[in-house]
Amino acid sequence: MNEKYAALYNAILEGDVAGAQDGVQAALAAGLEPGIILAEGMIAAMKEVGRLFEEGEFFVPEMLISARAMQAGLTLLKPHLLSSDVKSAGKVAIGTIKGDLHDIGKNLVALMLEGAGFEIIDLGVDVAPDKFVEAVATGGADIVAFSALLTTTMPNMKATIEAIQQAGLRDKVKIIIGGAPVTQEYANQIGADGFASDASRAVSLAQSLL
């Protein structure tokens, strides 16, 4: 691993908030691209956290403290990921689907969309279908984006699409979905307008739909 982001990677793995902040600053000072710092130093560390959890070496508290270190690092990296002179490209309401509390990926997608000029309505985590409906009905969202990290919460994406349909709003909004267990096939199956496997693909998808 590149030594310019190895300390950052290890700090996230160990849940060391100050270490993650220092790691981001050091990587920026070393001249690394913000996108590389994010992918290689940070998202890669969270993947390893997931692997250690699967192997039974990490438990929920370890995942939680790693997530805190990741968020602390992201807060510092955010201004470097956003470009300043972009016009509004449309309004996106984004949230993690009902039953699901994972928000790092959702926050990253929101951040990248914001960087590409989209106005963001961040509905947070554990978002009930009626909140998405409201974001379209009264919030003026052109796109709604659902994130799901758990196979058990994926069906709530379908339930949310149905709620939007029942509210008579389906033709007023584009629906895009993503999250580690989600696939294009699943998007087709539940009638979403698109799927993106990562935050930068979510940006091109949103741009292609408006």
95, two tokens: 């949230």
- Least Å distance, CB 63 to ligand B1M, is 4
Among 13, 121, 179, 190, binds ligand B1M (CB under 6 A): 179
Query: What does the per-residue mask of binding to ligand B1M show for 92-111, with x meaning CB under 6 A?
Result: -------xxxxxxxx-xx--
The 133-152 site mask, x for binding ligand B1M (CB under 6 A), equals ------------x-x-xxxx
- Smallest gap, in angstroms, from Cβ of residue 21 to ligand B1M? 17
By C-beta, is 13 or 133 nearer to ligand B1M? Answer: 13
Determine how β-strand 194-195 pairs with β-strand 174-178: parallel
CA distances from 105 to 30, 48, 91 (A): 26, 15, 19
Restricted to residues 31-70, the positions that interact with ligand B1M (CB under 6 A) are 43, 46-47, 49-50, 53-54, 60, 63-64, 67
How far lies 207's CA from each of 71, 73, 116, 190, 195, in Å? 26, 28, 9, 21, 13
Q: Which is nearer to ligand B1M, 89 or 150 (CB)?
A: 150
Other beta carbons within 10 angstroms of residue 5's beta carbon come to: 24
Can you tell me whether residue 39 is helix, strand or coil? helix
- State how far the Cα of 205 lies from the Cα of 49, in Å rounded to an integer: 28
User: Can you give the C-alpha Rg of the chain in angstroms?
Assistant: 17
- Residue type (1 letter), 180: A
From the CB of 178, what's the least distance to ligand B1M, in Å?
2
Q: Does 127 bind ligand B1M (CB under 6 A)?
A: no
C-alpha 139/C-alpha 92 separation (Å) is: 10
- Positions that interact with ligand B1M (CB under 6 A): 43, 46-47, 49-50, 53-54, 60, 63-64, 67, 99-106, 108-109, 145, 147, 149-152, 176-181, 196, 198-199, 202
